[in-house]
Chain A
C-alpha cells in the first residue's frame, strides 16, 4: 500500500498536491481546446474593433472620441480587454461547470478527491482567473494594432496594471463560478440574454463611467455591475488621460466583488455537490 492510502495524515501538503492535480487536469483540457479558446477570446473584440475603429472611419461614420482629443479606439482598449476577461469567466468556468454539475455529473470524481470540496470550487475560480489573464493578453494586441485611428496607451504604473489585471481576472473567475453553480444547463441561453449581454453593454466598456453623468440614474445603476470596475481600473492603468474612477474605489469594489461572488460560488458549489 502506498502512503497515499494511510488514514489520518490528510493535511495541507496533500490538499496542495490534489489542488495541483486539478489545475493540471484543467490545463490539459485547455491545451486540447486551444483553438476554440483563442477563437472565443478574440472574436468579439476583433469584430468590435474592426467595425468601429477601422470600418467606420473609412466609410465616413464616426463615433465621437473622448475629451482632450482622444480617439474612440483609445476608449475601447481598456473596455475590450475587460470584456475579454469576463467572457473567460463565463466561457471557461460557468459553462463547463453548469454541464459538469448538471446532467453529466462529471464533477463527482473531483468532489471525491482528497481535499475539502470548497477547494475544488476555488480551483475552478483560480483556473478561470488564469485564463482571464491569458485572454487579456490576447485581446490587447488586437485593440492596439487594428484601429486606423491613433491609439494612445501608456502604462503609468506597472505594479498598478498587474494588480488590476490579477484582481479583475479573479473577479471574472468568481463571477463564472457563481453563475456556473446557479444556472442549470437548459437555462444557458437565458443566462446570455439576462446576464452576459446586459453586463457587457452596461459595463462602461464602450464609454467611461464619468461620461454617464448626464443620465444620473444610469450612472448609479451600473455600479452593481462588476465589469464597470474592471473597465475603470484598466482605464486608470492603461489610459490614465481618460476620465476614470479613483483607483482606490475601483480596486476596493473589485476586491469586494471577488469576495462576494466567490462566496456565492463556493456556497452554490457545496449546495450542488453535497445533499
Chain B
C-alpha cells in the first residue's frame, strides 16, 4: 500500500529521440502526501510538464516508476485516469460544446448517468460561479474564465488527485488572483493537488510543499519556509554599475556577510546571509565602479532558485 502518499515518483527518466537525445527527466524522485497542495517550481523546460504527463498517463516513462494512490501509471493507466483530474495551461475545452456540455459530457465519460451528470453540472456551474456562462461556447470565454471552466471540469468526477499544469500561464494579474482563490478553495475539499508553475509567488502562496526542479532533476523539496531557510538564501542584492566586471565582483566578494557574487548583464548579483549593516558596505565597495542602482530582495522562492542554480526563473 502507498501509506500516505498520493503520488510517488521514483527514479523517473524520460528521454526523447534515442540514446543521444534529450533527457527531459533525469531521475526525478518525489512524494506528494495526501491532501496537500504540492508545487513543482522551475523554469520553462525544466521537466515539470513531462513529470505531469507521466503521472497522468499521457507520457510513457523511459525508466522509473510512478504510482498515483498506489496505482501504477504504466501498468494500469485506466485505473489511474479514474482517480485523477487534469487542467493544463492550454485551453483544451471541447469547442463544439457549450460550457455546461463540457462539464456534462465529462461526467458521462466518468460513468455518471444522464440525470446524475446534469445534477453535477448544475452544482459545478454554481460553485465555480459559471451559471451565466452555461450556454457560452468555449471560444467566447476570456482566458481566466476558460481556466476556471477547465478546473471545474477537472474536479467534476470528484478525483482524488488534481494536476494543474501551469494554470495561470498567460493570465492577466486580476484573473491570476481569482484563479488562486479558486485553487485555494480546493484545499478544503481534501483533494491532493500537484501544481506546476514557473511563477514563484504562485508556488509560495498556494503550496504546502514545493519541489524545485531544473534540467529534469529535483534540486530541493520542502515547505516554502524550510526552503528559504535551508538553502541559506538570505538576501539577494542586485548592483548595477557602469563599470561592472570581474573587478567589481572581486571588490564585492570581500564584503563581510556576502557569500556569493555572480555577474549578470549590466551588474552583479550577490547573495548575503544577513542584512544588518550590509547596504553601506556594498555601496562603499561599489563606489568606484559607477554605481547606478541597488535593489534588495527579501528571501523568496525565487532567491532560493537563484541560489541553487545561479539563474533567474525567467532566464
Binding site for B on A (CB under 8 A): 1-2, 4-5, 7-8, 10, 14-15, 17-18, 20-22, 24-25, 28-29, 32-33, 96, 104-106, 108-117, 273-275
Inter-chain CA distance A275–B25, complex, in Å, is 14
The 3 closest A-B pairs by CB, nearest first: A21-B108, A113-B109, A114-B82
User: Which residue of the partner chain, among A22, A33, A273, contacts B58 with CB atoms under 8 Å?
Assistant: A273
Min C-beta distance of A105 to chain B, whole Å: 5
User: Which residue of the partner chain, among A24, A273, A274, contacts B108 with CB atoms under 8 Å?
Assistant: A24
Inter-chain CA distance A138–B300, complex, in Å, is 66
Collect the chain A residues with CB atoms within 8 Å of residue B84's CB.
Answer: 112
Binding site for A on B (CB under 8 A): 16, 53, 56-60, 69-71, 76-79, 81-84, 86, 88, 90, 92-97, 101-102, 105-106, 108-112, 153, 157-160
User: Which residue of the partner chain, among A15, A17, A109, A274, contacts B106 with CB atoms under 8 Å?
Assistant: A109
Closest A residue to B157 using CB positions: A4
Closest A residue to B60 using CB positions: A274
User: Are B105 and A18 neighbours in the complex by a CB distance under 8 Å?
Assistant: no
User: Are A5 and B159 neighbours in the complex by a CB distance under 8 Å?
Assistant: yes
User: Are B109 and A108 neighbours in the complex by a CB distance under 8 Å?
Assistant: no
Closest B residue to A15 using CB positions: B78
Inter-chain CA distance A68–B82, complex, in Å, is 62
Inter-chain CA distance A178–B90, complex, in Å, is 26
Inter-chain CA distance A2–B53, complex, in Å, is 26
Inter-chain CA distance A21–B97, complex, in Å, is 14
User: Are A21 and B82 neighbours in the complex by a CB distance under 8 Å?
Assistant: no
- Beyond A21-B110, A29-B96, A113-B109, list 9 extra A-B contacts (CB 8 Å): A2-B158, A7-B82, A14-B111, A17-B108, A20-B108, A109-B102, A112-B57, A112-B84, A114-B81
User: Are A8 and B71 neighbours in the complex by a CB distance under 8 Å?
Assistant: yes
Closest B residue to A104 using CB positions: B95
Closest A residue to B16 using CB positions: A275
Min C-beta distance of A270 to chain B, whole Å: 10
User: Which residue of the partner chain, among B60, B88, B109, B160, contacts A18 with CB atoms under 8 Å?
Assistant: B109
Inter-chain CA distance A33–B84, complex, in Å, is 32
User: Are B79 and A7 neighbours in the complex by a CB distance under 8 Å?
Assistant: yes
Closest B residue to A110 using CB positions: B109
User: Are A109 and B101 neighbours in the complex by a CB distance under 8 Å?
Assistant: no
Min C-beta distance of A13 to chain B, whole Å: 8
Closest B residue to A1 using CB positions: B158
Q: Quick one: given A4-B157, A274-B58, are A24 and B105 in contact (CB under 8 Å)?
A: yes
Min C-beta distance of A37 to chain B, whole Å: 13
Min C-beta distance of A114 to chain B, whole Å: 4
User: Are B59 and A105 neighbours in the complex by a CB distance under 8 Å?
Assistant: no
Collect the chain B residues with CB atoms within 8 Å of residue A117's CB.
Answer: 77
Closest A residue to B139 using CB positions: A104
Q: Quick one: given A4-B157, A5-B82, A7-B83, are A105 and B108 in contact (CB under 8 Å)?
A: no
User: Are A275 and B158 neighbours in the complex by a CB distance under 8 Å?
Assistant: no
Could you give 21 example pairs across A and B, Cβ below 8 Å? A4-B157, A5-B83, A5-B159, A5-B160, A7-B71, A7-B82, A18-B111, A21-B111, A24-B108, A25-B94, A25-B97, A29-B96, A33-B96, A104-B95, A106-B94, A108-B92, A109-B102, A109-B106, A114-B81, A115-B78, A274-B59
